[in-house]
Amino acid sequence: ARHPPPHHLMLSMEDMFPAGPSSSSSCDAPPREHKHGATSSTTRMTIVHRHGPCSPLAAAHRKPPSHGEILAADQNRAESIQHRVSTTATGRGKPKRSRRQQPSSAPAPAASLSSSTASLPASSGRALGTGNYVVTVGLGTPASRYTVVFDTGSDTTWVQCQPCVVVCYEQREKLFDPARSSTYANVSCAAPACSDLNIHGCSGGHCLYGVQYGDGSYSIGFFAMDTLTLSSYDAVKGFRFGCGERNEGLFGEAAGLLGLGRGKTSLPVQTYDKYGGVFAHCLPARSTGTGYLDFGAGSLAAARARLTTPMLTENGPTFYYVGMTGIRVGGQLLSIPQSVFATAGTIVDSGTVITRLPPAAYSSLRYAFAAAMAARGYKKAPAVSLLDTCYDFTGMSQVAIPTVSLLFQGGARLDVDASGIMYAASASQVCLAFAANEDGGD
Amino acid sequence: VGIVGNTQLKTFGVAYDIGKKVVGFYPGAC
């Protein structure tokens, strides 16, 4: 078992289960901040699994979400992204401009924030799928710490704010209180930054933002500036973010969201002069482990040593589109026409849990993977939610699984780690961690 | 649209350079 056959990986069952939401394992290493690399222009934050023992939010979860709930939320997230992509492509879903752009005669903030729902769809009550990883940032002067969802799939950073004029969901940490920060300021309606927002309004001269997700979740409030502390040695003065006074949706108990997309309001774009629009992340294999989120030139050094793939920017201003070209299973390139990947394109999204493939690509992957597993005699198991290729590994300590590699334009290759090939709901249900889109055009 | 999700990105360094318009993957980063 110590020597897997060629093009196979050994999957340790012991390693798989700390990744489950029902884990009671302790944190491998407490989150810490540190400089790294040769360049001082790189700053590092710690990423932890939202439901793992390293998460500041973990203690708040009396009942961790089930695998079914996590996967259902992930399906909502994927559908939300499909919706945003498709509506942007057709023009139907272009960001709405608020009708409330009157200047000083605007109603009081409370009334504005309440009435703003007129331009928003009714909440379906479905989750955005807040992603499984969080980072902790400091906000204000003196800085208070907030645990926020880390999201490369959206732009505007926001936190729930005092006095929470309309409604806030329950969060683990105290609400951010602008009155306690000496560096807080609202962005004025006349400021160019206000126009950077996809959805904006005006109340009493103060810029209002709206962040609306495809599933009906949203945050509305004042667009503001304050000092954002990324680490103990690095802060961003005048960072523009949403001070949320009306926030609804299942955002877990996070204080808000850190937007890492490519739009004007995102953190990488706002800090372009400081970090050069460069950042990198690493997500830990186990929920008991820690990863990192780096900003700055040093974070790209390791990638430059390897092959990179072009970021395809013509498809829209927000998502990180890349060109997927193929899949290898057990070292063998699957026979999938290039058009299968090119038809709809591919994005990289830190907030989606399970990789979604065009139906034809998934079908080919599943067939090859299942054939390799059958050849080794592994017993199949019932599906788990959207995962349909599952195995019963009861009583096994290690399992040999075929390698899976995702190939991209320019020669970049993602040789998926064993922890990323399988999703373990239980020892008797360990599933191939990929799913198909409903339609080849999705 | 296809989506590369976070499960498949585990342990990989994923680097984004908005100016140069590239995405890089490097294994064993954490």
Taking the CA atoms of residue A26, residue A149, residue A224 and residue A118 in that order, the dihedral angle to the nearest 10 degrees is -140
d(CA A277, CA A395): 48
What are the C-alpha distances in Å from A215 to residues A77, A81, A248, A297, A381?
8, 9, 11, 35, 32
A43-85: pLDDT as tens digits: 888 888 877 788 888 765 556 678 887 888 788 788 878 877 7
Q: A25-34, A117-126, A247-256, A333-342: lowest mean pLDDT where?
A: A117-126
| Residues near A137 by beta carbon (within 8 Å), at least 6 away in sequence | A45, A145, A146, A148, A228, A229, A230, A258
A284-329: pLDDT as tens digits: 888 788 899 999 877 777 666 678 999 998 877 789 999 999 999 9
Interface contact A197, partner B, CB < 8 A: no
Task: Say what the pLDDT of residue A214 is.
Answer: 54
A252-287: pLDDT as tens digits: 788 999 999 999 999 999 999 999 999 999 998 887
d(CA A16, CA A69): 19
A119-161: pLDDT as tens digits: 222 222 233 444 578 899 999 999 999 999 888 988 999 999 9
Interface contact A407, partner B, CB < 8 A: no
Contact B14 A309 (CB under 8 A): no
Contact B29 A356 (CB under 8 A): no
A173-199: pLDDT as tens digits: 999 999 999 999 999 999 999 999 988
Q: Which of B6, B22, B27 sits opposite A352 (nearest CB)?
A: B6
Q: Is A151 a catalytic residue?
A: yes
Active-site choice (A74, A196, A234, A349): A349
CB A210 within 8 A of CB A97: no
3-state secondary structure of A374: helix
Task: Say what the pLDDT of residue A172 is.
Answer: 86
Interface contact A415, partner B, CB < 8 A: yes
Interface contact A282, partner B, CB < 8 A: yes
d(CA B4, CA A437): 12
Q: Which of B2, B21, B27 sits opposite A346 (nearest CB)?
A: B2
Q: Which of A276, A310, A408 sits opposite B21 (nearest CB)?
A: A310
Contact A300 B24 (CB under 8 A): yes
Contact A303 B10 (CB under 8 A): no
